[in-house]
Amino acid sequence: MEHASTLLIRVKNAFMMVAEKPQAESSSRLPRRFGKYTLLDTLGKGGMAEILLAREQTNLGATRLLVIKQILPELAENPAFADVLIREGKLAARLTHANVVQVTDLGRYEGKLFLAMEYVEGFDLNELLRRCSKSKIALPVEFALLIVAETLRALDYAHRRTDDEGNPLGLVHRDVSPSNVLVSFEGEVKLCDFGIAHANEAARDVAGEQIQGKAGYMSPEQAHGEPLDARADVFSAGVILWELLAGRRYYRPAEGQPMIALARSAPEQPLPERGLAHEDALRGLVARALRPRREERYPSAQAMLRELETLMVQAGLVANPLRFGSWLREHFAEETLERRRARERALRALDTGPPVVITPLPPTVAPEELPPPSSTGSAVPPPAMPLASVPSPGFPRWGLVVVGVVVVLLLGALAFR
């Protein structure tokens, strides 16, 4: 028993050492703990944050996958950026809509500023278009219109959102671009990163290439640094629609020309003809969304959405998430499903616990003192328990009491004779 209990202690200590080891390792190792989350995989890294897949588990064992955005240290340590991100993140957490990626947490852990948000299994629009190009698969027009319509639905909700007293929150996304439009294999379209672009504008040390990359979808007033309203997001949605229908970038800067300069001038470009039904109406819709002067654009995302949906019905280009999801799974799901299977295997291994190599301790009794095996081949009986825990052998105490009573009775009988 002493040998067995010591072995159990050795197993427990070994498991604890393996379980605690990741905390002492480099923060780049995965999986690893991050507060109440377990970071599983790196999804990407941009000019603002590192994006990681994470799992959250409750005390009762319920789990869900999330995305953790760890803000890069050079931005997280910028007071202007951090203050605006926290303020905008609190507002974004109030957004609950089918077309908006839900923000579930905002905080700091180990000095790292982070946001936790809903995980969407699929692609961002940039990645979808890249895969279409690589596979030489054209994105059907009805799905392109569906993507923009769902994006406008998200913007309309956010623009109209009020606080608990009914006052408008005044939310403007500021970064409606393909990298922030997510599509899932269920055909859902979700807009993410509300408020983050505002924090970027507050920081003075954002990388120049990051600004250049986003400038391709900026409204002229945003490129000039003017105050913004919902019509800036309408312009950005118009750029996405133009590019999906034309199959190329809206802005094409000349060699050496900064993209931000092109965004400030906002030269109007007509949508190329594609022979679509009601194409003139579609070209007029896109042109109105892309007017350089905001007063000439749609006054709201809702106004643009209504006109777009009417045109989709008239042109017979109506689609729904069910059909879109089926198309995505047919062409692009195999690689993603394999990644999902690999992730599920890793999660099962993580839940089972790390393997432990147990080195048996030497027996407490020397081998020459052990009794020989029995003739029947049965195992050697365990060593006896300590004497202090074993009752003394011999005649039971209650037997002594009975004998004493009998002797007394016999003596009494003899005395009465």
Residues annotated as catalytic are 175
Task: Look at residues 161, 171, 71 and name the one whose alpha carbon lies nearest to residue 116.
Answer: 71
Do the Cβ atoms of 168 and 261 come closer than 8 Å?
no
Task: Look at residues 229, 253, 243, 89 and name the one whose alpha carbon lies nearest to residue 160.
Answer: 229
Amino acid found at 250: Y
Residues 6+ apart with CB under 8 A from 346: 31, 40
Phi, psi for 399 (deg, rounded to 5)? -65, -40
Residue located via tokens 């408008």: 168
Report how far residue 387's alpha carbon sits from residue 86's, in angstroms, rounded to the nearest whole number.
Answer: 67
**Token digits of residue 167:** 């006052």
Task: Report which DSSP code applies to 41.
Answer: E
Between strands 189-191 and 181-184, the pairing is antiparallel
Give SS3 for 306. helix
Q: In 315-366, which ranges are continuous DSSP H helix?
A: 321-352
Amino acid found at 199: A
Report how far residue 44's alpha carbon sits from residue 333's, in angstroms, rounded to the nearest whole number.
Answer: 19
Angle (CA) 32-36-44 rounded to 5° is 50
In the chain, how long is the greatest CA-to-CA distance? Answer: 138
